[in-house]
Amino acid sequence: MSDYNFAYLDEQTKRMIRRAILKGVAVPGYQVPFASREMPMPYGWGTGGVQVTAACLMPSDRLKVIDQGADDTTNAVSIRRFFQRTADVAVTSHTHEATLIQTRHRIPEAPLREGQILVYQVPIPEPLRFLEPRETETRRMHALEDYGLMHVKLYEDIARNGTIATSYAYPVMVAGRYVMDPSPIPKFDNPKLSGSPALQLFGAGREQRIYAVPPYTGVVSLDFEDHPFEASKAPHACDLCGDDGSYLDEVITDDRGGRMFVCSDTDHCDCRQKAGHRGRLAMPETVQ
């Protein structure tokens, strides 16, 4: 244990964040302003997610942290160690064992369950921001449920590219009321936002916003009748575990055009390999 208060933040700050989380839960998809603190990591490294996690953690929690699906990249490792040091919580890389999962830009492949909390790191929480830079205006647009501009943007995508070209941070409507940025998750993950048994919380540190999708809440990806939403992924199977249904990362393996596709969710891939599944480039089973 360290000399820091439990989970780093002081109690006054945690109370303020907790009240914002509760209001976020009460108005699904609405971005609640909160007094985001300086954290001992730079903006863009998940300061919003870290503050939400700090306000939610209990000593009995088991924490999982992923960065683009991986448990072992710098961002995931440093945030996991941060909470091991400041909150002394147990950690895991297995999705089904975790009670609280902080994620950067992915939803785990394994289905979530009731009682779990998924905390997203959000860079730009306002889905209308690139269409309308003024906060006063976007706030009014949300109040009036005036989302025509977002549909025009998607329409222009179709007019220019033939399809809706947005492939990540794909806008959704939550519980039939608020249009929400689901953070830069690939649109492949969008269907998993809807009706999830887990509570989903979103924290944007630099932009000072918290929002939430309660369990079993309807989340609809915006689309048109003649151009329905499609959750897309690379048309390959994982080269390590052979799964053709998981979201894939493309890895360049040499300077002569060599490449491989691997699951972005490292826990999912490991579990499948341990269960004996083998992909195109997997090591053959070694004799122990």
Residue 27 binds to another protein (criterion: CB under 8 A): yes
Q: Which of 49, 203, 205, 241 is catalytic?
A: 241
Q: Which helix (H) or strand (E) holds 221?
A: strand 219-221
Show contacts of 148-156: CB within 8 Å, 24+ apart.
150/179, 150/222, 151/222, 151/224, 154/222, 154/223, 154/224, 155/224
Q: Which of residues 158-187 bind another protein (CB under 8 A)?
A: 175, 177-178
What is the contact mask toward another protein in residues 203 to 222, using x (rule: CB under 8 A)? ---------xxxxxx-----
Q: Known catalytic residue: 238?
A: yes
Of 19, 62, 153, 278, the residue at the interface with another protein (CB under 8 A) is 19
User: Which string of b and e fits 248-284 if b means at least 16 CB within 10 Å?
Assistant: bbeeeeeeeeeebbbbbbbbbbbbbbeeebbbeeeee
- Say if residues 66 and 52 touch (Cβ distance below 8 Å): no
Cα distances (angstroms) measured from residue 2 to each of 82, 136, 210: 11, 42, 28
> How many residues sit close enough to another protein to count as binding (CB under 8 A)?
44
Residue 62 binds to another protein (criterion: CB under 8 A): no
**CB-wise, 76 or 198, nearer to another protein?**
198
Of 2, 22, 152, 155, the residue at the interface with another protein (CB under 8 A) is 22
Do β-strands 248-252 and 259-263 pair in parallel, antiparallel, or remain unpaired?
antiparallel
Q: How far apart are the first and last CA of the chain?
A: 39
- Say if residues 30 and 178 touch (Cβ distance below 8 Å): yes
**CB-wise, 12 or 288, nearer to another protein?**
12
Least CB distance to another protein at residue 144 (A): 8
**CB-wise, 70 or 199, nearer to another protein?**
199
**CB-wise, 201 or 237, nearer to another protein?**
201
Order of strands across the sheet that contains 117-121: 32-33, 209-213, 199-204, 117-121, 100-104, 62-67, 90-91
Q: Which of 29, 48, 203, 205 is catalytic?
A: 29
Least CB distance to another protein at residue 111 (A): 14
Least CB distance to another protein at residue 119 (A): 12
Q: Known catalytic residue: 269?
A: yes
Catalytic residue numbers read 29, 238, 241, 263, 269
Binding site for another protein (CB under 8 A): 5-7, 11-12, 14-16, 18-28, 30, 32-33, 55-59, 114-115, 139-140, 143-144, 175, 177-178, 197, 199, 212-217
